[in-house]
């Protein structure tokens, strides 16, 4: 378990550095960061690229309904494109599109703008393509490649925040699946596995702060797939032991779907009894798979003595459907 107050302070530092353009190195320090990068490159060589770099083509209209399609775009890295899947129906984007269509009883037009291997620095080009589709809702999965490359946390958060802000200014709702816990990846050895777990949680918390400030909402992946990966790695991991299997992608899509439906006002907005500080909420969410963080007001105010007011909704991932 990561000490939540420490993660909250780190999230605040990273977010502040992102706002002013600093590097925002965490307490891990330069030496540890160098170790992380070196061992990350070794893990990448072990993993290889058995899937290539392309997910299955999945752009199209989903849902057997009439009416004007809801416009959904997927941005981010290989998890956004469903790398490793042969059937488009097994990718997160199609799963989310079909889920939204069923709830709205309207078709959904999906446009996938994500790119395998992308870090947050590459979101700008993806947003350019996404805006051409005039999206009503954008879903972003990003963060893993910021951990395994030389992207400093504040830089990653700054690029993500800019992408979210551009999408929101264009009228799109935005839901971000934050950085997952890379400590579950088998090819990553100790001490890197412990370091990546800590780094992943810190980045996820800082992503939440940046996304909320830009007008989006987040869903924590955390170690959502950790227990399944530990107990059944053959089923939950793909052949490269890094990317999720069909089951893993399904779990990720179903974790995000409720937040997407809420953002589109297809479901009522659940409201906890009180708001809380963005920094503590972000740190707590980074520990809880499926937790959603969104902005709120307390006594009519958007901010309090410790930053923006938010609500933390704890959505524990449930059992997967029988057709999984």
Q: Which residue has the tokens 């830089």?
A: 155
Tokens describing residue 264: 């589109």
User: Collapsing DSSP states into helix, strand and coil, what is residue 222?
Assistant: strand
Q: Are the C-beta atoms of residues 178 and 143 closer than 8 Å to each other? A: yes
Radius of gyration in angstroms for the set of CA atoms belonging to the chain, rounded to a whole number: 18
Crossing angle of helices 278-285/192-214, nearest 10°? 140
Q: Is the peptide bond before 191 cis (omega within 30 degrees of 0)?
A: yes
In the residue annotation, 245 being an active-site residue is answered as no
Q: What is the DSSP letter of 298?
A: B
SS3 218: strand
Q: Is 243 a catalytic residue?
A: yes
**216/141 Cα distance (integer angstroms):** 13
Query: From CA 75, how far away is CA 158, in angstroms rounded?
Result: 16
Which helix (H) or strand (E) segment holds residue 98: the answer is: helix 92-104
Catalytic residue among 58, 78, 116, 259: 78
DSSP conformational letter for 288: S
Catalytic annotation on 240?
Answer: yes
Q: Which of 77, 243, 245, 259 is catalytic?
A: 243
Active site residues: 78, 240, 243
């Amino acid at each position: 378990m990561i000490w939540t107050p420490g993660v909250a302070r780190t999230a605040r530092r990273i977010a502040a550095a992102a706002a002013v353009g600093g590097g925002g190195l965490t307490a891990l320090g330069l030496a540890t960061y160098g170790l992380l990068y070196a061992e990350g490159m070794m893990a990448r060589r072990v993993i290889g690229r058995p899937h290539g770099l392309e997910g299955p083509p999945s752009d199209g209209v989903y849902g057997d309904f009439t009416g004007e399609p809801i416009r959904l775009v997927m941005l981010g890295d290989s998890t956004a494109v469903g790398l490793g899947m042969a059937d488009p129906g097994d990718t997160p984007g199609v799963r989310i599109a079909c889920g939204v269509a069923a709830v709205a009883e309207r078709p959904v037009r999906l446009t996938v703008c994500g790119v395998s291997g992308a870090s947050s620095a590459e979101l700008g080009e993806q947003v350019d393509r996404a805006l051409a589709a005039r999206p009503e809702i954008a879903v972003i999965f990003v963060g893993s490649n910021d951990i395994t490359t030389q992207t400093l946390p504040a830089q990653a958060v700054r690029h993500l925040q800019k992408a979210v802000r551009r999408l929101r200014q264009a009228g799109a709702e935005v839901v971000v699946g934050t950085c997952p816990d890379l400590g579950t990846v088998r090819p990553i050895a100790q001490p890197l596995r412990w370091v990546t777990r800590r780094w992943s949680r810190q980045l996820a918390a800082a992503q939440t702060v940046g996304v909320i400030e830009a007008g989006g909402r987040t869903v924590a992946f955390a170690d959502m797939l950790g227990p399944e990966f530990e107990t059944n790695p053959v089923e939950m991991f793909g052949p490269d032991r890094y990317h999720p299997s069909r089951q893993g992608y399904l779990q990720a899509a179903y974790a995000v779907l409720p937040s997407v439906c809420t953002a589109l006002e297809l479901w009522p907005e659940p409201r906890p009894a009180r708001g809380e500080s963005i920094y503590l909420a972000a740190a707590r969410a980074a520990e809880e798979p499926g937790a959603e963080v969104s902005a709120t007001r307390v006594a009519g105010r958007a901010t309090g003595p410790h930053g923006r007011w938010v609500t933390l909704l704890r959505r524990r991932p449930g059992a997967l459907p029988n057709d999984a």
